[in-house]
Structure 1
């Protein structure tokens, strides 16, 4: 944070020296939001349970997230952004027992070791270099100052940010506060992107936009341990690298993207942990096998297909894979994932701002990961004590009612077969209610 603060202060000084327009250096409120989610999980068939199992007796949990988002234009090309958030509450079963956790907002809680006060979620700089004369007016929104933006451009982003703000973006499955709540449907679960426990990290991003093509490359700090709150120091020692290419003819047309990633961190290897457990006659512990300089790599792809209602009705799909040899480190415990869904706008029944949607997801594990859990090992979300493996299968449907232009109420249901990849347990049913206010 000291580096970010210094960079931010230096940029303000540079902006003050260069700016000669009264609009510069004036902070702008770009948005604010509050989201309340309450969920009830049913009791489920469970012949046994481990330290991280989904609660067999059922559960009820609530979460609250608050956020305010600011931007400051420093020069015609340089801008600064700061977001402040606060989280209260928890997820069902303390956010364990599933790869596809049912409330994506609980990631902002950061676990029991972090406080529940306000915190800086993002603090970053952006610098845009126009590569042509054609521009498009962009509206004010979270982390986006209003104004003219070059259609073809080279952009840079540096600071504290969320990797999934810029990669694996889908119009129909991207926000747990307004769309699907399950982790399997707002990003690809097998994409293990760099982040601390709350979902943020420090790094840099370069974006090149030319015609229908958008190319992105980002490098970010990794946590010091799996799902840890602290980031590793030198970025050469541990980092997450992501590259994505997206094709979209125009903002209202279909889009297709391909993402590849490589993580380098202090990680354990499932097979090594199993071998050590066999030699010592103990339960395998992936964390005891952690060593610096280990790698995980993978890929993800996605598609959005607008169908009607100016794109508000459409289909989406994602697939992802990672090598599954080193431990799941950041997002969730999944080595393969696929999802497909549809959103329908309320224009069809004279409620144009309402949305109804349904989606299905399947998550899977590598053979090494399965064997580790079957031998009694635990990760950071999974640990039934044993495992009768099957893919985790998730269905979610919701209706989002636009009460006003700034208030939305959502009824949601999720059905989960083989929770935690265990066919001996489940199925689980989770019903939820969400209230979302935004400015």
Structure 2
């Protein structure tokens, strides 16, 4: 029999998604609270996002993508009071009304260098075709940094996997992004069979966790580099990714704010260009059987300057698994469970203990303890285009405070895609 020729490359595609998450928690122990605390009374919040994603290949090797995205609703306590915010579909926003924006405007250029031919399936941000196992890929435009870096097959997408912010990526990586999770910049990748090297530079927000971006790209940017090795153990695929990052922008300094005002520190009063935040992350994934896979992440940042774009975490470790439902004749279903522990640097801890406020945290004082999170979900396929998920999270020491919690959160997620 002769070999089947590779299919002709797809010229364009169109995909869409819509996700609704309703999340609630009951009363929990709270002897005191501050301006940025998780509210101790029972509450419920609903978020909604929808995205239209168009891809086009004008010629071989070049792809262009444009996403239009709308969002509405809010998170519990307006996404305040937890370092590991419990719903990755929400961001810190004051107006819960529906808002639409251009999320991505991306050009991707692939330079094939040989090796094995790999088939590329049609998907969101992926026009079907073929590529070489040895290649250079360039990305330029507006997109999410996590489109390129810190991928993980088991914990990366809050629309289909774990909801918690610190399970969808490295918790301690204060990755460059506006409050919706997007930024402008560029990245380059070199793939060489089982190895991949990546580097990118991206714009930072003008203010901490806000929409407006800093146009002084030379003085305010985030750099990230990552090395990846893919492997097979016991006939099951796995990957190891090691990342380093360096952000520089107009951040404040925790220790300086304490020195200037010990009784009422304000990190925003010490903001100055030239501040630097550095850190690293280790990201592991491994198939254990055809249906069972495991993952783990470990990340660290120096934590001397204020959290600027993602969340208030300076140390994070997580591990978990996902299990396909083949054993109970539901092969498209997924069961996941994971644990994450988040921590603060000494400077960040002392600042919050003295009554300082971050953009997410601030109980007025602090009896410090690591914030610990257990999350489990079951995602049931309701046909080809619809998935219904039940999600449960238990969070100990919310906002790193031993005096508060634990708190239990339950969520119902409905996700549609085409």
The alignment's TM-score, normalised by the length of structure 1, stands at: 0.91
Aligned partner of 2:42 in structure 1 is 58
Runs of 4+ more than 6 Å apart: none
Q: What's the CA shift for 1:234?
A: 2.7
Equivalent of 1:339 in 315, 318, 322: 318
**1:181 matched to which residue of 2?**
163
Could you say which residue in structure 2 is the equivalent of 1:7?
Answer: none
**2:305 is aligned with 1:323:** no
Query: Which structure has more strand as a fraction of its residues?
Result: 2
Alignment of 1:40-55 (within 5 A): 40-55=24-39
- Candidates 341, 344, 347, aligned match of 1:365: 344
After superposition, where does 1:34-433 map in structure 2 within 5 Å? 34-107=18-91, 111-112=93-94, 116-132=98-114, 134-249=116-231, 253-278=237-262, 282-309=263-290, 312-433=291-412
Q: Secondary structure at the match of 2:288?
A: strand
**CA shift for structure 1 position 308:** 1.6
Q: CA RMSD in A?
A: 1.6
- The Cα shift of 1:79 comes to 1.3
Query: Given that residues 70 and 82 in structure 1 are in contact (C-alpha distance below 8 angstroms), is that contact kept between their aligned partners in structure 2?
Result: yes
Report the CA distance between 1:388 and its aligned residue: 0.2
Partner of 2:13: 28
Give the deviation of 1:58 after TM superposition: 2.2
- 379-388 or 248-257: bigger deviation: 248-257
Deviations 1:79-133 (A, max 9, x none): 11101110010000100100000100003xx612697322110001011110105
Gaps of 5+ in 1: 1-21
State the match for 2:5 in structure 1. Answer: none
Asked whether the 8 Å contact 1:211–1:249 carries over to 2, the reply is no
Q: Is the 8 A contact 2:236 2:289 kept in 1?
A: no
- Residue 267 (structure 1) shift: 0.4
CA shift, 1:252, in A, is 5.7
Please report how far the alpha carbon of residue 67 of structure 1 lies from its aligned counterpart in structure 2 after TM superposition. Answer: 0.6
Q: Deviations over 1:346-368 (max 9, x none)?
A: 01111100111110000000010
The superposition leaves residues 320-378 of structure 1 with CA deviations (integer Å, 9 ceiling, x where unpaired) of: 00001001111100000000001111011111001111100000000100100000000
SS for the counterpart of 1:275 is helix
Query: In the alignment, is the contact (CA less than 8 A) between 1:206 and 1:217 conserved in 2?
Result: yes
2-side partners of 1:116 and 1:34: how far apart? 13
Higher fraction of helix: 1
User: May I ask how many residue pairs the two structures share in their alignment?
Assistant: 409
Consecutive unaligned residues in structure 2, runs of 5 or more: 1-7
Inter-partner Cα distance in structure 2 for 1:121 and 1:178: 19
2-structure distance, mates of 1:341, 1:219: 30
Deviation at 1:189, TM superposition (A): 1.0
Aligned residues of 1:36 and 1:64 also touching (Cα < 8 A): yes
Work out whether residues 9 and 130 of structure 2, in 8 Å CA contact, stay in contact via their aligned partners in 1.
no
After alignment, is 225-234 or 178-187 more displaced? 225-234
Q: Give the whole-Å Cα distance in 2 for the aligned partners of 1:101 and 1:277.
A: 29
What does the per-residue CA deviation read over 1:373-415, in whole Å, with 9 as the maximum and x for residues that have no partner?
Answer: 0000000110000000000000001111111111110011000
CA distance in structure 2 between the partners assigned to 1:352 and 1:135 by the alignment: 29
Query: What TM-score do you get using the length of structure 2 for normalisation?
Result: 0.95
Q: Give the whole-Å Cα distance in 1 for the aligned partners of 2:236 and 2:221.
A: 35
Separation in structure 2 between the aligned mates of residue 249 and residue 118 of structure 1, nearest angstrom: 41
In the TM superposition, what is the alpha-carbon distance from 1:228 to its structure 2 partner? 1.7
3-state SS of paired residue (1:171): coil
C-alpha distance in 2 between matches for 1:78 and 1:49: 53
1:46 offset after TM fit, Å?
0.5
